[in-house]
Structure 1
Amino acid sequence: MAKLNPWIIGILGFGFFLYLAWNNFKTPFAPWTKTSETKAEIIENALGNGPKGMGFTQIITFTYQVGDSVYVQKEKLSQRINKKEIGSKVLIEYATKDPGNFEIKGFFKQ
């Protein structure tokens, strides 16, 4: 068996680290499951402490319907996102087998 070059392992590891850093250290959302998109509506918003206690972040509560079930979820938003108001619409992607597993895809302008 040939000896592996440590430079190749280092370059691959660094490339994997860069991929995760580019995506804010989040893994892809459910790449092995079937997903759907729906609109949700913000029903409550609050302010929370930002990173290291500096600034603030928004904590939104939103509701969406899948079939006959209504789901209410909370999500802490990034500081880069503008303030969202109650009644704003949110586009979410959820796993069809587990609609409680979701990811925010974007926000609609009012």
Structure 2
Amino acid sequence: MNHIAATSSTAQIKCNGEICNAGAVGCLVYSKEVEQAYVDEVILVRPAQLEYDDNNEQLNDQSTEEHYAGTEYSNEYHCVHRHFNDEFYRYCILVYNERLPGRCYEGKGYRVCCCFVPSG
């Protein structure tokens, strides 16, 4: 799971290294699943019977291909401003009100995580 790197200095908040505008109160990360498929060829070594005559030689080797599907996330980071017209702020309020583990909401194929930076 990716963690939201929100840092605060006197007047700035950074979300994943990006400096937010003045008045930002936190960060939101939207993660979308991206399937990564790859093929791994496995060569099996087994005793094999050689068949040959004076003009021809034949060896049957065996190999298999195994297909793997891995899940990775494509992340979008957004600054959150305390305003009800700010869509990201509304998402964060919903996540915080649900008291979800890790302050993340898991949907089908996506995840929304929020963190607020304490003021002061």
Is the structural similarity TM-score above 0.5? no
Question: Which structure's residues are more often strand, by fraction?
Answer: 2
Higher relative contact order, structure no. (Cα contacts within 8 Å, ≥ 6 residues apart)? 2
Report the TM-score when normalising by structure 1: 0.28
More helix, by proportion: 1
Question: Rg larger in 1 or in 2?
Answer: 2
